[in-house]
Amino acid sequence: QVQLAESGGGSVQAGGSLKLSCVVSGVSEYYYRNYCWAWFRQAPEKEREWVVFYDAYSTPTFLDSVKGRFTASGAYAEYELYLRMESLEPDDTAMYYCAAADRGVCDSGHVAVADFPYWGQGTQVTVSS
């Protein structure tokens, strides 16, 4: 059973940066490298949306509104995923979640909440203007 735990959220002013981490447990390295990983976010009164998705063998696919500002990576030897967010804007304010699914989800080229069976508890990011 995959377990995910996010951290690194906080409150920053517009233009600031944050780095989110997601620690992965409950999976062997082989299966870890064969999962599709994603970061989602959910702002108050809005639907949860994907921010980036990727696996160990592909270039991350980013939501248009965060391209050039966010980077994603995975330290597979340490079972940890990262989301580096720069030039943060008030519209980035949301609860951020990491999620995992079968690698085939990434291969499809488009993802949705329902595609991911494993979720962390989320970490809050608040950006003030």
Tens of pLDDT, residue by residue over 86-122, are 999 999 999 999 999 999 999 888 899 999 999 999 9
Confidence of residue 78 (pLDDT cuts 50, 70, 90): confident
Average the pLDDT over 61-77 and give the result.
Answer: 91
- Show the beta-strand stretches assigned E in the chain: 3-7, 10-13, 18-25, 35-42, 49-54, 61-62, 70-75, 80-85, 94-102, 118-119, 123-128
Q: What confidence score (pLDDT) does residue 75 get?
A: 73
Of 27-41, 52-66, 104-118, the least confident: 27-41
Average the pLDDT over 42-47 and give the result.
Answer: 96
Are 74 and 24 a contacting pair, CB within 8 Å?
Answer: no
Q: What confidence score (pLDDT) does residue 32 get?
A: 79
SS3 84: strand
Angle at 64 between CA 61 and CA 67, to 5 degrees: 70
Q: What confidence score (pLDDT) does residue 38 get?
A: 96
